[in-house]
Chain A
Amino acid sequence: MQKSMIKKHVNYTIRYLVLLLVAFVMLYPMLWLISASFKDNNAIFTSIGLWPNKLDFTSYVKGWQTGTEFTFSTYFFNTFKIVIPKVIFCIVSSTITAYGFARFDFRFKKALFSLLIATMFLPQVITRLPLYLLWRQIDMLDSYVPLVINTLFAQEAFFVFMLIQFLRSIPMDLDEAATIDGCNSFQILTKILLPSLKPAIMSCVIFQFVWSMNDFMGPLIYISSVEKYPVSIALKMSIDNTSGIVAWNQMIAMSVIAILPSLILFFSAQKFFVQGVTSSGIKG
């Protein structure tokens, strides 16, 4: 009996140590990134420690100014001009589509649902070029329209699928009771189902936000004038400009700022992230 207790404790301790070690190795680069942003350019390459010898905000101030005529204020503003509409459109359109699939019967429903799932797996690499040519033809290049508009049509199947799964877990009795009370189908969605859907919608908001913040290839292809650059492209521009002496500390400071919105959102809404990944179990 005693022996098995000891064995249990040893087992527990080993698990703990492995977990801590892995977490430390994984997070160290990021912690170091944050601390390096306060160091001056020389200290970055001479110390692997986390604690900067003095708190120095100049790399933030200088980095924010950038080498271009625009500051990071412009780039952040641009990023939000893309991200916020995407989040709103995506939530509205995906909820409506998911409602259609989860609560109605119609011809070809099975086939259409299969198509929805198929689009989740279809490599984007195939569709990217013709869409670029399409937007070029109607003179929409160098605008945010090509980056945003597909969210108006619920084209990110991940979100639709996640909401369908969630809707299926809400009992139909609620809908039926509401029908008897005289609600039409749209009122059932907005008045009855929407409140229960809140956690799933939160997950969608968060994922869409983070993915849109990270999006790099979209703006790389479509946005060509510097004044319209989002943060991701502005960062890329700053590594390209590394001729001569590189102000690494400034670039690092701006990298920290660039991931800050996603980090804040993550820490304030962790449970929705975990729920989102596990309930429908996709991607990331």
Chain B
Amino acid sequence: MKNRGGYLYILPWCIGVLIFTVYPFITSLMLSFTNYDLINPAEFVGLNNYIKLLTKDTAFLKSIVATLQYTILTVPMQLTFALFIAFILNFKIKGINFFRSAYYIPSILGGNAAIAILWRFIFRSDGLVNQVLNVFGIDNVAWFSSPVAAMFVISLLKVWQFGSSMLIFLAALQEIPQELYEASEVDGATKLRTFFSVTIPLLTPTIFFNLIMQLVNAFQEFNGPYLITQGGPLKSTYLSSMFIYDNAFKFYKMGYSSAASWILFMVILTFTLTLFKSSSKWVYYSDGKGN
């Protein structure tokens, strides 16, 4: 290891962290204890914003519930699907490159506004999805006027982007030594038994990693609901990130919005810390190393 000069190389990043992470992190917390509307000077109000959000603001509480619904719906579905496809792909199969790309394309484009437009369009009452359902003799579904259906539409957009988790699973699957499978076969284990007793335990670090990554993302989802359902119907898809955005940039309640973002942050933190704590019970590190 060279010793001199190290600081010099990481200096820009260090300055950047102060400006773009540390400063806004602290400021955001301070803002959350004030009322600030961009015109009048900020006024200290103590915990009022938090109390109001948690006890009186039904729109906010509903948005937290919707965000939890969205997260609990999308993350397990996405990961299960990603694992399932990775498992099928982990096989000497022709055209593996084609499939890898085909499944990955939605992950690249999913965040694009163009895809949100596509989604809005194919789920219209006379759109592609209903036309296909009609072919199978199923009546039109009013995707955007039922809360359950609307939540399904934006969740599907997320699950559709399972490609990056799938690639990570696939890479982990390919690292599992073949001898383990052979040993398991010699011991007379069935395929299913091998999957649950050999494959899954060895994949737990990857599952854990994907789970954290997708949770943090899902809790902050904005583009899908903002562009496709606009939070409707009846605010059933009005996720917390939309609440935070509206309060800041539509109603100019900067302090209130900051407090809401801190509550969301606490929710995310609770989930991730609980996962980290529980990880010693279910995550299995074969060589003492993580992902």
> In the complex, A153 Cα to B19 Cα: how many Å?
10
> In the complex, A115 Cα to B21 Cα: how many Å?
10
Q: Say whether, besides A29-B122, A259-B109, A277-B168, A270 and B248 are in contact (CB < 8 Å).
A: no
Q: What residues on A are CB-neighbors of B118 within 8 Å?
A: 29-30, 33, 252, 255
**Count of chain A residues with a beta carbon within 8 Å of a chain B beta carbon:** 89
> In the complex, A99 Cα to B10 Cα: how many Å?
8
Interface string of B215-249 (1 = CB under 8 A from A): 01101101100010000000000000100110011
- Among B68-76, B144-152, B256-264, the stretch that binds chain A is B256-264
Interface string of A124-147 (1 = CB under 8 A from B): 111111111110100000000000
> In the complex, A263 Cα to B267 Cα: how many Å?
36
Q: What residues on B are CB-neighbors of A97 within 8 Å?
A: 9-10, 12-13
Give the contact-size bracket for chain B. Answer: 35 or more
Q: What residues on A are CB-neighbors of B206 within 8 Å?
A: 281
Q: What residues on B are CB-neighbors of A30 within 8 Å?
A: 105-106, 109, 118
Nearest A residue to B125 via CB reads A45
Q: Does B15 contact A (CB under 8 A)?
A: yes
> In the complex, A126 Cα to B171 Cα: how many Å?
33
Of the candidates B85, B120, B128, B161, which one forms a contact with A284 in the assembled complex, judged by CB atoms under 8 Å apart?
B161
Q: Does B284 contact A (CB under 8 A)?
A: no
Q: Provide 23 A-B residue pairs closer than 8 Å at the C-beta atoms, listed in order of the A residue.
A: A26-B102, A30-B105, A32-B122, A45-B131, A93-B13, A96-B9, A101-B10, A103-B2, A105-B1, A123-B220, A123-B261, A123-B268, A125-B220, A126-B262, A153-B13, A153-B19, A155-B16, A175-B2, A255-B117, A259-B114, A273-B108, A284-B107, A284-B161
B residues near A (Cβ < 8 Å) are 1-10, 12-17, 19-21, 23-25, 27-28, 31, 38, 85, 88-89, 91, 93, 97, 99-109, 111-115, 117-118, 120-122, 126-128, 131-132, 135, 160-161, 163-165, 167-168, 170-171, 206, 209, 212-213, 216-217, 219-220, 222-223, 227, 241, 244-245, 248-249, 254, 257-258, 261-262, 264-265, 268, 272, 291
